[in-house]
Amino acid sequence: MFPSDQLYIVLELANGGQDLESYIFNNALQVFAVFKQTACALAVAESQLKFEHRDLHWGNILISNVDKNKTLRYRLNGKDIDVDTHGVEVTIIDFTLSRIEFDGVVIFNDLSLDNELFVAKGDYQFEIYRLMQQSNRNEWQHFEPYSNILWLHYILDKAVSSALRYKNSRTKIHREYLGKLKKLEEQILSFPSVV
């Protein structure tokens, strides 16, 4: 069936967890932890590699259960930032549309060639693509860190719009952290980058 010189690859990936859309959280404190982990990961990548994810919808954020006392450490501009997981750990996936720069070499996907990406309707995700296009003037090689802010706003929108599911939505801690997420949602678009 295949020629004798056919090459194959076996790729093994770790289980990163359930996507943000289908995960059931204990309460909004866990979503706050997800937001902080995602923001810290983006900030470090943005700072070190001029990174933009450009497609960070809720299918590309995986959540796994970890010890509730586990803490993650991020190093941003020489400073350590510790983030409590509260029992959930984030894995960001699918870098197909991402932009990264290393040693002066820019790797990116020229999204100006994909007009269909910018005409879809329905979810806020599709509006984010148009907002990115507007922000970078459809020049996708250019570093525009505001795109990461747009995706963080998308995550916050999902958190506060009842799109995410919670086991304990009537607790005081849930209401407290839902309020914090709402406040972040109201303010985040005023920042130029995650850093």
Q: DSSP letters of 152-170?
A: HHHHHHHHHTT-SEES-TT
Contacts for 64 with CB less than 8 Å, ≥ 6 apart: 15, 16, 17, 18, 88, 89, 91
Active site residues: 55
CB 3 within 8 A of CB 154: no
Q: Which helix (H) or strand (E) holds 38?
A: helix 28-49
